[in-house]
Structure formats: structure tokens, C-alpha cells
């Protein structure tokens, strides 16, 4: 089983609809992140959370919101989806207990807004 699981893997939605992408992890990490990947732009950080009560905006948070329901769960919502939010979305986790550690990524959610 994957350590970082994203659902759904693929989603097509209409403009204006609210959609939630979910992420859960079994790694016991305290830090969780949401990135979007666009061709030629690499990965850009949307939101990150260092603890259940700690939520921070990343570089492109407009149009998105997040919820850290538990240490293991971090969901990303698009309140009113628009076509330029069509992208590949990745959830990632890391641990603050080991200062030198990498991020572990989920399989990604491909979102298309029509």
C-alpha cells in the first residue's frame, strides 16, 4: 500500500463547482503539503501544514482552501473551480523530527475543469 494516498486519481468537473481532493498518509509525518504541477512550471506550493492546527499559504493559494482534519489527513478544496486550475495535484509529507529528510509524494490527482 502506498504511504501517501490521494483520492480521486482523476477528476473532471465543471466550472463553478466545488471540489475536494483528499490526501492521507501512514508515514506518521507531521508536515503535509499540496503542490500543483503544470507543464513548464514545475511544482508550485499551494498550502502547507506543519501540524493539525497549523495551516500556511504557499505561493499560489488563491482559489484554494485546505483542511487538516487529523495528522494523517490533509484535504484541498477548490471553492469554485475554473479552467486554469486544470493541473496535476500532488500531496506530500515530511517529518520535522528528523531535520534532514525528504518529502514523500502521493500518486497525484489529475484534475480537469471544463
CB nearer to other proteins: give 50 or 86. 50
Residue 83 neighbours by CB distance under 10 Å: 10
Residues with Cβ within 8 Å of 89's Cβ and at least 6 positions away in sequence, in order, are: 6, 21, 34, 35, 36, 37, 46, 76, 108, 109, 110, 111
CB nearer to other proteins: give 72 or 90. 90
**Minimum CB–partner distance for residue 98 and other proteins (Å):** 10
**Minimum CB–partner distance for residue 17 and other proteins (Å):** 25
**Minimum CB–partner distance for residue 69 and other proteins (Å):** 21
- The gap from C-alpha 61 to its chain's centroid, in whole angstroms, comes to 11
CB nearer to other proteins: give 62 or 102. 102
Amino acid at each position: 500500500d502506498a504511504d501517501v494516498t490521494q483520492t480521486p486519481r482523476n477528476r473532471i468537473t465543471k466550472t463553478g463547482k466545488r471540489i475536494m481532493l483528499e490526501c492521507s498518509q501512514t508515514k506518521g509525518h507531521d508536515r503535509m503539503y499540496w503542490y500543483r504541477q503544470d507543464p513548464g512550471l514545475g511544482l508550485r506550493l499551494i498550502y502547507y501544514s506543519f501540524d493539525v492546527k497549523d495551516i500556511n499559504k504557499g505561493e499560489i493559494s488563491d482559489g484554494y482552501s485546505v483542511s487538516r482534519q487529523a495528522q494523517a489527513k490533509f484535504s484541498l478544496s477548490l471553492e469554485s473551480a475554473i479552467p486554469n486550475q486544470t493541473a496535476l495535484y500532488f500531496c506530500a509529507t515530511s517529518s520535522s523530527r528528523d531535520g534532514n529528510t525528504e518529502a514523500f509524494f502521493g500518486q497525484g490527482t489529475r484534475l480537469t475543469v471544463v
